[in-house]
Amino acid sequence: MTRVARKVKDDRLLRLIGNYLRAGVMVEGVLQRTEEGTPQGGPASPLLANILLDDLDKELEKRGLPFVRYADDFAIFAKSERAAQRIMESVTRYLTEELRLVVNPTKSRVVSCAQFEYLGFSFAGAGSRFDARRALIVQETNSIGTAWLRLEVLPEASRAPLQAKFREYVDTRIAAYRAFPDTAAARAALGRARAMQGAIWSEALTAAVAMPTTSGTILLMPALNAMFDDASTRDAALMAHLPVTIFALLIFLVLCCGVLAGYGMTTGGPRSWLHLIGFSAVITIMLYVITDYEYPRRGRITLAAYDRLMVDLRQEMQ
């Protein structure tokens, strides 16, 4: 109450708040006394949290830490996991030693942006799909490299034709993803690659069965199966996007915000062209980045650095 008294000067209101905090709570029909804190979910809890945590806001601003807070829920952002751990330890000490608060260890943690959720909102979606696409490129490249090495178990007569088909297959996979944003050309190349999978499988199976030992079927065939599965998974991830309805809803929300902002400006005197242009620019950039992030092969955000992995692998197949 001492910190509340710094903000609230009315003695009657302070007594009312004190009585409210000491009134107790009903738990399954039984009245229980409240010794400290505020009732969970009570109507005064967000207001009291804002008053109490105002000192935390000032402390974080003094440290230059980017953060967001709503009542007693807040998130602090850092550039690395190591920095986030250090900030969490420091802020926890401040809350417990300076503000005399209890920090819930089950709800306080360090997470990446892909796992971050705040008040029901998260940064997953396009970001997690972008990370998944990068991981799938690495995964497919590794599986192709493994299958290529295991061709060595075949006799020379069977190995050479399969190696030629492998090179053609990898060239087709590279060409398919380079064809974007020409979707028709990319789909055609992916179709040719899928047809080559059948030819490679049939020829490899024939060569493996003809061997006097089972090393071909045990080592080569599972590697080929993994290679084809990874290619299918990567192709499916390429086509996974937000429904058009979500984009339409986002645009509708932007239009509503623009109408409300414009209506508010009409009652505030002369219009500020700086605010009008700034608002339009920020909204436009936001929509562009979201769309570009969702379709990384059609705009300025690309996967070229990871595509290079398969190109390098192809060069090693010479």
Give pLDDT tens digits for 211-252.
888 877 888 999 999 999 999 999 888 877 777 887 888 888
Closest CA to 154 of 202, 229, 206, 196: 206
> Where are the extended beta strands (E) located within the chain?
25-27, 30-32, 67-70, 73-76, 117-118, 121-122
pLDDT reported for residue 233? 92
Can you tell me the mean pLDDT for 260-266? 74
> CA 199, CA 244: separation in Å to the nearest integer?
37
Q: Is 152 helix (H, G, I), strand (E, B) or coil?
A: helix
Closest CA to 207 of 151, 290, 165: 151
- State which H helix or E strand residue 224 sits in: helix 221-238
Q: Does the pLDDT value for residue 104 go beyond 90?
A: no
**CA distances in angstroms from 223 to 49, 106, 201, 284, listed in the order given:** 58, 42, 11, 46
Instruction: Look at the pTM and tell me if it is higher than 0.75.
Output: no
Cβ neighbours for 55, distance < 8 A, ≥ 6 positions apart: 3, 98, 99
Least confident of 147-151, 194-198, 217-221: 217-221
